[in-house]
Structure 1
Amino acid sequence: MDEQQVVERPTRRSGALVDYLARHLRRRSESALAPLGLRTRHLVALTVLRERTEITQRDLATVLVLDSTNVVGLLNELETRGLVERRRSAEDRRRHVVTLTDDGTTLLCRAETALAAVEDEVFAGLDPAQREQLHELLLAATGSASAPFC
């Protein structure tokens, strides 16, 4: 076989696989969170609040990359359920400080347990070392090693 007849294997692309996996994981996660009355945005907000102990509403909007109006709506939903608490800042009465309540912490733990079961199902084809490697590769690919929900 001469050099011109050698057919190179096309470069493997992972985008479609990552997209498929993300959609599958999202659907399963939404199904697991629904009985708890949570959506993904609630989970992320509660996780940030657990990691930050307390945070201003404006800073929370920045961390969540949300418009302040959307954060107000999100916090209204969580506060109505007793999962978070807002109070005026002692340093600046114009600002609100947001904290996670005990009920919020309890529900967040239940949600994390439900999501761990989803991950066990979705990643059943990977052994523990491969799952750890996947996590590290995803952190590297996203540059999110410091994100509170990783």
Structure 2
Amino acid sequence: MDELPVLDQPARRSGALIDYLARHLSRRSESALAPLGLRTRHLVALTVLRARGDITQRDLASALVLDGTNVVGLLNELEGRGLVERRRSPEDRRRHVVSVTDDGVSLLCAAETALTAVEDEVFQTLTAEQRSQLHELLVAATSSASARYC
């Protein structure tokens, strides 16, 4: 990990440290995903599709907090690689239902393995207990933050 610059700020101010760590983790994650031909937005979409199963494009757009046009472009990329499948909804032929394919799940698993290695590298100085505590704190912090945007 790059050496952290000395930050002249009052004690207990974590924002700059979190931002620095997030940027470092993002750069390392992008490097790990690149050989798989994935970007973060692909990973998030595949993760949502695996968790939710068949979902309409509109519901996927809502879950990803993207407008419909951007979701169509994202799905075109994933469908072109055989990672997702779109089909007309049997209940409403005007809607498309999206699902992740077996190839999409396999690639998602490979990506998760690569990202686990990145996290192991970035957080190597933390004990397992500290990593677990960090995760719990981040979940709590993001839960309160995301509640304001939903």
Q: TM-score, normalised by structure 2?
A: 0.89
Name 2:140's counterpart in structure 1: 140
Q: Secondary structure at 1:125's aligned position in 2?
A: coil
Matched, 1:47 2:35: no
The amino acid across from 2:62 in the alignment is T
The amino acid across from 2:94 in the alignment is R
CA distance in 1, matches of 2:62, 2:94: 17
Kindly provide the CA deviation profile for residues 1-30 of structure 1, in whole angstroms up to 9, marking residues without a partner as x: xxxxxxxxx442000000000000000000
The amino acid across from 2:117 in the alignment is A
What pairs with 1:1-150 in structure 2 (closer than 5 Å)? 10-143=10-143
Distance apart, 1:143 and its partner CA: 0.4
CA distance in 2, matches of 1:130, 1:59: 36
The amino acid across from 1:105 in the alignment is V
Distance apart, 1:56 and its partner CA: 0.2
Q: Secondary structure at 2:99's aligned position in 1?
A: strand
Kindly provide the CA deviation profile for residues 9-59 of structure 1, in whole angstroms up to 9, marking residues without a partner as x: x44200000000000000000000000000000000000000001100000
CA distance in 1, matches of 2:50, 2:92: 23
Kindly provide the CA deviation profile for residues 95-144 of structure 1, in whole angstroms up to 9, marking residues without a partner as x: 00000000000000000000000000000010111001000000100107
CA distance in 2, matches of 1:125, 1:103: 35
Q: Secondary structure at 1:75's aligned position in 2?
A: helix
Q: Which structure would you say has the larger Rg?
A: 1
Q: Secondary structure at 1:35's aligned position in 2?
A: helix
CA distance in 2, matches of 1:95, 1:129: 46
Listed as ranges, the gaps of 5+ residues in structure 2 are: 1-9
Q: TM-score, normalised by structure 1?
A: 0.89
Aligned residues: 137
Q: Secondary structure at 2:87's aligned position in 1?
A: strand
The amino acid across from 2:33 in the alignment is L
The amino acid across from 1:56 in the alignment is T
